[in-house]
Amino acid sequence: MTAQTGLGAVAVLLLGIAAYVSLFASPPDAFQGEYVRIMYAHVPNAWVAYLAFAITFAASVLYLWKRRPAYDHLAHSATELGVLFTGLALATGSIWGRPVWGTWWTWDARLVTTAMLFLIYTTALLVRGLSDDPLRGARLAAVIGIVGFLDVPIIHYSVVWFRTLHQPASIAPGSLKIAPPMLLALMLSLLAFTVLFMYLLRLRTSLARLEAGGEMR
């Protein structure tokens, strides 16, 4: 069994445990009831999306600096996965928001920032695909990966101050506002999704490497 497959097996195992704990072993929320269980999928999706864009940023900087194709493969793969998980975070958030907030969508800061991220990185993929030369496409996508990531905090605060309603983050240092079994479910889900993401990222990166090798020949 290769390390790759091993990582995939760990991801599946962790996802199974996390699904059991979040769906059966943890109690319903006092206010949100059973809907809180959507959070155990929503929060990890959003976390993985942000993680993916952070990796895109780091890999893009390294690529423009060292010009080694491996960094570009990593940046490309992380962007794709980031867009996927951002889309999932937006969808699960909407599904949760409908019963709990009473609306599919609200003009809240984190929602708008996430939607903007989705657009910026989708466009980065578009620019890469529509570029007249794969090398240039890699460079242009790296530029967008850097500008986009540096812009995120400014976009976020500008949207926060424009108007906002989102509940404050549940896990703030010093003040834990969440029951231990629910925290366990959340932490397990976060771990499971992170391992899943690592697995998919490795898979996608090696595919990008193989594709690039195929084009050379």
Partner 1 sequence: MNGFLRAAAVARKDLRVEWRGRQTITATGMVALLMILLLGFVVGSEPARAAAILWVAMGFAAVLGIPRVTQGEVDQQALETLLLYPGSREHLFWGKCAALTVMLSALLVALLVLLGVLFGVDVWDHGGALVGVGVLGIVGLSVIGTLLAALVLHVRGRELLMPLLLLPLALPVVLGCVRLTEAILTGTAAGLWPAVLVSFDVVSVLVCPILFEVVMDEV
When the beta carbons of 131 and 170 are compared against partner 1, the nearer one is: 131
Q: Which of 146, 148, 88, 77 is nearest to 119 (CA)?
A: 148
When the beta carbons of 43 and 46 are compared against partner 1, the nearer one is: 46
Smallest distance, partner 1 to C-beta of residue 148, A? 7
For CA atoms 53, 59, 62, 66, the dihedral sign is negative
When the beta carbons of 8 and 137 are compared against partner 1, the nearer one is: 137
**Is residue 216 close enough to count as binding partner 1 by CB under 8 A?**
no
DSSP string, 141-199: HHHHHHHHHHHHHHHHHHHHHH---PPPPSEETTEE-S-HHHHHHHHHHHHHHHHHHHH
Give the number of other Cβ atoms within 10 Å of residue 156's Cβ.
17
Smallest distance, partner 1 to C-beta of residue 6, A? 38
Size of the site for partner 1 (CB under 8 A): 31
Say how many Å lie between the first and final Cα of the chain, rounded.
Answer: 29
**Is residue 215 close enough to count as binding partner 1 by CB under 8 A?**
no
**Is residue 182 close enough to count as binding partner 1 by CB under 8 A?**
no
**Is residue 161 close enough to count as binding partner 1 by CB under 8 A?**
yes
Sorted by sequence, the CB contacts under 8 Å of residue 77 that are 6+ apart come out as: 201, 204, 205, 207, 208
| Window 120 to 159, contacts with partner 1 (CB under 8 A) | 120, 122-123, 126-127, 130-133, 135-136, 139-140, 142-144, 146-148, 150-151, 154-155, 157-159
Binding site for partner 1 (CB under 8 A): 64, 116, 119-120, 122-123, 126-127, 130-133, 135-136, 139-140, 142-144, 146-148, 150-151, 154-155, 157-159, 161-162
